[in-house]
Structure 1
Amino acid sequence: MEPFVSQAEAAEIVKVARTRAGRSWAEIAEAIGRPAPWTVAALLGQHPVPKDEAEKVGELLDLDAAVVEALQAQPTRAGIGDAIDDPTIYRFHEALAVYGPAIKELIHEEFGDGIMSAINFKVDVQRREDPSGDRVVVTFDGKFLDYNW
């Protein structure tokens, strides 16, 4: 029997294996028929990967059975911990600190009393060329959930 591999260990193994295999995240996502943001999040331990998809990733990246098993486990989703120190992640926090209250007001004005789901949710990341420097376009697409009393 293979030794146990945690989701955190599996995520690190996947990152190294992907680089060594010369595969892009987009290529892996296409191979399993999933959007790239979901695929990356899942392979980093934020979603359970269905068995057939985990096995396909295992084949693509030459992963051990224990890693493939770990990819299928139900994750414990928690705060980002030390990742807040990463400049890219920090900038998202900064943007939400500045624009979050305005976005909240606009959601309430447009939809009423409720929230955007982060469970029934999609995210997309695109590059947009711009003469002053390429732009990062991040789209959050969450279902509106009204408060029911």
Structure 2
Amino acid sequence: MNKIQMTETIINAKLSKAVSWESLAAEVGLDPVFLTSACLGMNSLKAEAAESLCRLLELPDSIATQLQQCPLKQWDQAVPTDPLIYRLYEIVGVYGGTIKELIHEKFGDGIMSAIDFSMNIEKEENPAGDRVKVTMNGKFLPYKSW
């Protein structure tokens, strides 16, 4: 079993049980963003969380084993055509330089960690149209001189 087969199996089980990522995450005891990312093959889970998810979705031990494996975090370098994912690329394209400038102004020369990191996605109801609220929180890592 590889990560792609793992993801397909998890998604099929999730769909057949008609459960949400939020409800699965609450049962497993993880944040929905992190659990979803692990199920999509971009992060790994500790044994207890992997086994708990597999119990909930009635999945074989091979899925729990694969969920615990360190992923190879790579993706196609082309800009995706899925409209939602494309818009995230567009945000970085338009505002990436601005975000970089403001981080450097406030913190100095460095980066925001994607390892010591959390993200939250919320729905904000609005009479003019519901809003998507994405909050990213990453540790600042200064570049060192030597």
The TM-score, its normalising length taken from structure 2, stands at 0.94
Q: Which deviates more, 73-82 or 100-109?
A: 73-82
Structure 1 segments, 4+ long, off by >3 Å, are 80-83
What letter is aligned with 2:108?
G
Residues 19 and 126 (structure 1), Cα distance of their counterparts in 2 relative to 1, 3 Å cut: same
Distance of 2:76 and 2:20 partners within structure 1: 24
Match of 1:59?
55
Instruction: Name the counterpart of 1:26.
Output: 22
Matches within 5 A, 1:66-145: 66-80=62-76, 84-145=80-141
Q: How much identity, in percent, do the aligned residues show? A: 39
**Are 2:79 and 2:89, in contact at CA under 8 Å, matched by a contact in 1?**
no
Q: Which amino acid aligns with 2:33?
A: P
* 1:80 CA displacement: 4.2
Q: How far off its partner does 1:83 sit? A: 8.0
- Between the aligned partners of 1:82 and 1:26, the Cα distance in structure 2 is 30
Counterpart Cα distance in 2 of 1:30 and 1:83: 33
1:81 positional shift: 5.7
Q: 1:57 to 1:91 in 2, by over 3 A?
A: same
Letter in 2 for 1:103: I
SS in 1 for 2:80: helix
Decide which of 129, 142, 148 is 2:144's aligned counterpart.
148
Structure 1 match to 2:7: 11
Paired letter, 1:46 = M
Query: Secondary structure in 2 aligned to 1:121?
Result: strand
Cα deviation digits, residues 51-77 of structure 1 (max 9, x gap): 111111111101112122111111111
Q: Note the residue ranges of structure 2 that are not aligned, 5 or more in a row.
A: none
Q: Unmatched 5+ residue regions in structure 1?
A: none
Cα shift at 1:139: 0.8
